[in-house]
Every structure is written in C-alpha cells, then in structure tokens.
Amino acid sequence: MYERSWTVRFSDTDPFGIAHYPRIVDALHETSDMFMQEIGFPFWEISREEGYGLPLVEMNFEFENPVAAGDDVTVELTPVPGTRSVRFEYVARNDGEVAFWGYEQRVCARTDGEGAIELPDDLRLALEEYVED
C-alpha cells in the first residue's frame, strides 16, 4: 500500500471551515498521480512513451467526517490489479479516524482509442508490490 500526507489548506475550505468536496477530489486525483510516479510509471510518461493510460471509468467515495484547514490527512492507496483494469482503493484518515474512503476503477487503454488492453507485465509487477495481502 502507498501512503501520502495531504495538508488541507485555507484555500480548500468553505464557510464552515471544512474542505469543499471538489478540493477533496483534487487531493485524491493528485494521490493517484503521486502513486504512479512512485512506482515508476508516471501518467505523463506511459501516455507519451508507451502509448497507453489508465483512464477512470468509475469513482465511488463516501465522506464520513469533514476535514478542516491545517489537518494532516493520511491518504492510503491500495491497487487491485485486474486483467485489463486496475482498481485504486483509498482510505483517508485524520487523527486516526476515517475521513473519506472509496475507489477509482481505471481501465488500461491505448491512447489512440483502440479500447482496453491487458495491463502490461512490467506495470502489473510494479502494482503487485503494493497489493494488500
């Protein structure tokens, strides 16, 4: 599993001092980008150099507790590789308590639009190192 810390900023917050939902979604997407860089397959590189990507086909999130400016939110990402897709499962905790959690379902697809392909072996191996036992 991969983990990063997201500090909620003043500019993320609403009239009640808690983060706007679109800003939480920004942080989730940033986490997917940081994870892909961490495992050596940054989104910008695979699309340009390998000709494929992992476009989103579904997102499903639950928001259990609000987060406020200054909170250091721990966002965990666990990949669940399929044959032609991968699910990124997220759990975000604030002071040990779950704040939001859910998943992004991503399909492996050629950037030229020819439809889904199998996850390349090297990407699969890299993802598997972060799979939960």
* Beta carbon nearer to a copy of itself, 28 or 127: 28
Minimum distance of a copy of itself from residue 64's CB (angstroms): 8
Cβ proximity to a copy of itself: between 113 and 133 the closer is: 113
User: Which residue lies nearer to a copy of itself by CB, 34 or 80?
Assistant: 34
Which residues of this protein are in contact with a copy of itself, per CB under 8 A?
A: 7, 9-11, 13-17, 20-22, 25-26, 29-30, 33-34, 37, 42-45, 47-48, 53, 55-64, 66, 68-70, 111
Q: What is the distance between the alpha carbons of residues 124 and 41, in angstroms, rounded to a whole number?
A: 11
Is 84 or 131 the residue whose CB approaches a copy of itself more closely?
84
First to last CA, the chain: 10
- The answer to whether 43 and 33 have CB atoms below 8 angstroms apart is yes
Q: How far is the CB of 27 from a copy of itself (least distance, A)?
A: 10
Q: Using an 8 Å Cβ cutoff, are 108 and 85 in contact? A: yes
Q: How far is CA 33 from CA 11, 27, 42, in A?
A: 21, 10, 7
